[in-house]
């Protein structure tokens, strides 16, 4: 067993144009003041991070780590959630997702996809330059509009979608292998990889690629009414990243999992700050520790009610409280009789 690292904080929801959220130096100092010892970087946010420089310059990466270290902060992982989304976009979502891309490729799906693939590859190279072993992303989605089987799906539609999704990701996964970095897909509604079964469908089509791993976030499983604890039992060998995020699902006679097109505040299922939702994090941290997960416990603040800065400060303490420092000895060692093999055989009547 190993002790999880943390607490870490995903910076995507905090980066902004006002201090202390507008520069790498100030936001890492703020995170440290909140009680964090690590941060996960949104690779698309130029206020904090230059992806091109990080992919091409080890000196820049060393400088980035050095500035963070001045505040006692380590870089946990890089994220390409927005770029990964654009590796595969169904035409129904072209307009909605176009804003994730660089201006010069917007309105051109083919150019946008090529840009996205290049971005994820650069982030994997940058991860190597930063000395990181895991990388967070989304899978993108081609089949998502057909999630509910009405109208009836034509035979082979889903299979074709997953064949294409795997074909688009395979070169990226091969690059990840060259860089020595795991690609950790956040299993997330809106992505074709949104639960265990869909992840397995993708994994099979990549030839069970060693770098096709998972980012575990129990909040997304709560909202699907999926057993988030058994999920760890099943996929612990593939779980290489952990977002600590809470959620609640309170179905009524009027709405359930689908939410009835309501705002986040008025949905039956909604994200909450740590400790305010329904995730049993005592069990989550216990299972991850039991299976030897030694990655970072990274808080991703998303809450429809609480102020983000309050959620961040409370989240750091919440994670500190839940990280289990693993034992180096068995609890019953005091009762060790010191028996040897001869004694064991005698006890069994086979001496």
pLDDT tens digits along 288-329: 999 999 999 999 999 999 999 999 999 999 999 999 998 777
Half-sphere exposure of 2 (CA within 13 A, CB side): 10
- Beta strands 296-299 and 239-244, pairing class: parallel
Neighbours of 214 (CB within 10 A): 24
Nearest-5° angle of CA 283, CA 288, CA 290? 90
Token pair, residue 340, equals 């040897």
Between the CA of residue 159 and those of 144, 145, 189, 198, 201, what are the distances in Å? Answer: 13, 14, 18, 11, 9
Task: Answer whether residue 332 shows pLDDT above 70.
Answer: no
Residue 44 domain boundaries: 5-347
Task: Kindly write down the DSSP assignment for every residue of 316-327, as one continuous string.
Answer: HHHHHHH-----
134: preceding bond cis by omega (within 30 degrees): no
Q: Which of 238, 245, 113 is nearest to 172 (CA)?
A: 113
Neighbours of 193 (CB within 10 A): 25
Interatomic CA distance for residues 147 and 158, integer angstroms = 9
3-class secondary structure, 241: strand
| Contact between residue 57 and residue 96 where contact means Cβ atoms under 8 Å apart | no
Task: Answer whether residue 334 shows pLDDT above 60.
Answer: no
pLDDT tens for 242-296 read 999 999 999 999 999 999 999 999 999 999 999 999 999 999 999 999 999 999 9
| Contact between residue 217 and residue 272 where contact means Cβ atoms under 8 Å apart | no
Token pair, residue 175, equals 């690059």
Interatomic CA distance for residues 66 and 73, integer angstroms = 9
pLDDT tens for 80-120 read 999 999 999 999 999 999 999 999 999 999 999 999 999 99
Integer Rg of the chain from CA: 22
- Res 338: pLDDT: 73
Instruction: Give the mean pLDDT of the chain.
Output: 96
Neighbours of 197 (CB within 10 A): 9
Q: Which of 74, 164, 184, 167 is nearest to 124 (CA)?
A: 184
Taken in order 53, 57, 59, 65, the sign of the CA dihedral is: positive
Question: What is the count of structural domains for the chain?
Answer: 1
**Which of 153-162, 264-273, 334-343 bottoms out in mean pLDDT, i.e. has the lowest?**
334-343
| Contact between residue 4 and residue 324 where contact means Cβ atoms under 8 Å apart | yes
Interatomic CA distance for residues 28 and 262, integer angstroms = 35
Interatomic CA distance for residues 309 and 18, integer angstroms = 14
pLDDT tens for 202-248 read 999 999 999 999 999 999 999 999 999 999 999 999 999 999 999 99
Between the CA of residue 304 and those of 127, 246, 271, what are the distances in Å? Answer: 32, 11, 6
Between the CA of residue 284 and those of 182, 228, 233, 236, what are the distances in Å? Answer: 22, 8, 10, 11
283: CB partners within 8 A, 6+ apart: 229
Q: Is the pTM of this model over 0.85?
A: yes
| Contact between residue 37 and residue 72 where contact means Cβ atoms under 8 Å apart | yes
Between the CA of residue 260 and those of 222, 253, 263, what are the distances in Å? Answer: 17, 12, 9
Residue that has been written with the tokens 């982030």 in this structure: 123
| Contact between residue 75 and residue 41 where contact means Cβ atoms under 8 Å apart | yes
N- to C-terminal Cα distance for the chain? 35
CATH number at residue 280: 3.20.20.150
């Amino acid at each position: 067993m190993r002790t999880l690292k943390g607490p870490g904080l995903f910076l995507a929801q905090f980066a902004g144009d006002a201090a202390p959220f507008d520069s790498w130096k100030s936001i890492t100092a703020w995170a440290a003041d909140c009680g964090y010892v690590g941060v996960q970087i949104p690779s698309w946010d130029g206020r904090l991070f230059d992806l091109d420089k990080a992919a091409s310059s080890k000196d820049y990466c060393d400088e980035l780590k050095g500035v963070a270290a001045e505040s006692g902060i380590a870089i946990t992982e890089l994220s390409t959630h927005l770029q990964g989304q654009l590796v595969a976009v169904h035409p129904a979502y072209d307009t909605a997702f176009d804003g994730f891309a660089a201006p010069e490729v917007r309105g051109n799906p083919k150019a946008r996809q090529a840009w996205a693939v290049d971005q994820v590859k650069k982030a994997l190279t940058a991860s190597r330059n930063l000395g990181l072993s895991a990388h967070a992303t989304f899978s993108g989605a081609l089949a998502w509009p057909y999630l509910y089987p009405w109208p009836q799906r034509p035979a082979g539609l889903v299979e074709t979608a997953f064949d294409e999704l795997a074909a688009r990701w395979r070169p990226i996964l091969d690059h990840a292998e060259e860089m020595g970095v795991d690609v950790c897909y956040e299993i997330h509604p809106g992505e074709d990889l949104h639960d265990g079964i869909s992840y397995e469908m993708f994994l099979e089509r990549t030839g069970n690629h060693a770098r096709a791993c998972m980012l575990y976030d129990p909040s997304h499983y709560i909202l699907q009414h999926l057993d988030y604890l058994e999920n760890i039992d099943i996929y612990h060998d593939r779980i290489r990243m952990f977002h600590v995020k809470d959620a609640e699902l309170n179905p009524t006679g009027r709405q359930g999992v689908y939410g009835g097109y309501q705002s986040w505040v008025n949905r039956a299922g909604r994200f909450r700050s740590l400790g305010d939702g329904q995730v049993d994090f005592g069990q989550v941290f216990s299972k991850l520790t039991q299976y030897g997960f030694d990655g970072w416990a990274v808080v991703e603040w998303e809450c429809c009610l609480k102020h983000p800065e309050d959620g961040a400060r409370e989240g750091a303490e919440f994670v500190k409280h839940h990280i289990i420092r693993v034992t180096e000895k068995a609890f019953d060692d005091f009762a060790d009789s010191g028996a040897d093999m001869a004694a064991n055989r005698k006890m069994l009547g086979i001496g």
